[in-house]
Amino acid sequence: MKKLGLILSIGFITSLPTWSQGAKSIRITEVMTNNRTSIVDEYGAHKSWVELSNSSFTTYNIRGMFLTTDRRVLDKKMSPEERRKLMCPLPNNEPRTTLAGKKSVIIYDRYIWHEDSEDTCPDCFPKGKGHFRWLSEGTGPFQLKLGLVPLKEIADAFHEKNNWIALYDGNAVDLIDSISIPWLAADQSYALTSDFKTWKISKADEVTPGYLPQNTGLSKPQILKKTDPYGVGIAVLSMGIVFSCLALLFIFFWAFGAYMKHKQRIARATEKHANLLYKTGKKTIEVTSEISHKTNVMLKDGLTTKGIDKEIYMAVISLALKEYLEDYASPATKALGEKLVQAELPNIPQEKVREVCVERLQKIAQGERDFRF
């Protein structure tokens, strides 16, 4: 039994938010306080009326709720019993109180204002105040004693404020909806707009009693669910987003791969250039060492022969230096070497040797090699 009681308690507690949410879906959506030629009630009378609407898609029963135009109910210190005396309950045994999703019901005001300054009426309320009489007509289930005032001059005569109406839950404590109504011309209504946030004054030909547009008060997901019940649009949209993301990823990785390949090519080229510089420098050192050795040998031999072949050695050195400059030297080194060779040519004493040396220097520049004296 204890377990059963615990389960029932948990079920009751978890169901409270659902009940509350269902009650909050009932809204005051349109009010007419000065009905002259608009809709009539079941008795054929033009009366003030209030439209209650179910803003959700689920069915909800409004029986036992309260409507009131008495601002005294806003006093939080007032007990529920005292507050009920100032409010009008919606009927309990009436099938029309069950509102399907996006459906509305019209509640009429039983009181009709008459301008009659002479006659008295036992049913008039209040009695003897000015020449306006408040008569109660109609006893149908949706005929409530609301007391909506149609004209500002009537309110001024009774020291009343502008119309105000509120909807309370069945406990007479929870305020579900309320609205202050401006003074309206004949057959105008004060209506909630389709966004369920703002109100507007509707002209006589714009009044829509008992009708709630199907998109009124819907959130964007709810509108999407209504317009695309099978999810085709959202599926296409989702696929588009996925393919767009894949395309962006492809572009990103392609660009990243191209960048990495370019970086690798630069690294390989740098390494190749470094190796080439190393080999060139090594070869230059070897050739320079060899030329230096041969030059030293030739100079020693020339000194030994007392300068007889000095001009020959000078020509050979010039040719060897020319070959090095053409094959291995950098542009800057080549320019310095060419300048040195040209400066030393006049120092060759024998004219014939000097001419042969100049001729062979030109042939070396043209690509020929390995000349001998």
* pLDDT tens per residue, range 79-96: 999 999 999 999 988 899
Strand partners, 134: 113
| Residue-level pLDDT at 124 | 47
> What is the average pLDDT across 151-179?
87
Q: What pLDDT is recorded for position 298?
A: 59
- pLDDT tens for 319-358 read 788 888 888 888 888 888 888 888 888 877 778 888 888 8
Look up the domain containing 297 and give its range: 236-366
Q: Sign (positive/negative) of CA torsion 22, 26, 27, 29?
A: positive
* Assigned domain for 209 exists: yes
Percentage, residues of the chain above pLDDT 90: 34
Q: Do 268 and 184 have their domain in common?
A: no
At residue 180 the predicted structure's pLDDT band, cuts being 50, 70 and 90, is: very high
In the chain, the number of structural domains is: 2
At 260 the pLDDT is: 92
Q: What is the pTM of this model?
A: 0.52
Does the pLDDT value for residue 107 go beyond 90? yes
CB-based contact 32:49 (threshold 8 Å): yes
- Average pLDDT over every residue of 220-237: 74
CB-CB neighbours of 361 under 10 Å = 22
Residue 69 sits in the same domain as residue 106: yes
Whether 278 and 179 share a structural domain:
no
Element (H, E) at 60: strand 60-61
Tell me which of 114 and 120 has the higher pLDDT: 114
Strands (E), 141-243: 143-144, 164-168, 175-180, 189-192, 199-202
Rounded to whole angstroms, what are the CA distances from 359 to 19, 354, 355? 115, 9, 6
Averaged pLDDT of the chain = 80
Whether residue 128 is found in the same domain as residue 154: yes
Region of poorest pLDDT, from 229-233, 308-312, 319-323, 369-373 = 308-312
Domain shared by 208 and 242, yes or no = no
Which range is least confidently modeled, 10-24, 62-76, 168-182?
10-24
- Torsion angle of the four alpha carbons 42, 103, 16, 195, in this order, in degrees rounded to the nearest 10: -120
Q: Same structural domain for residues 61 and 139?
A: yes
The Cα–Cα gap between 200 and 192 comes to: 6
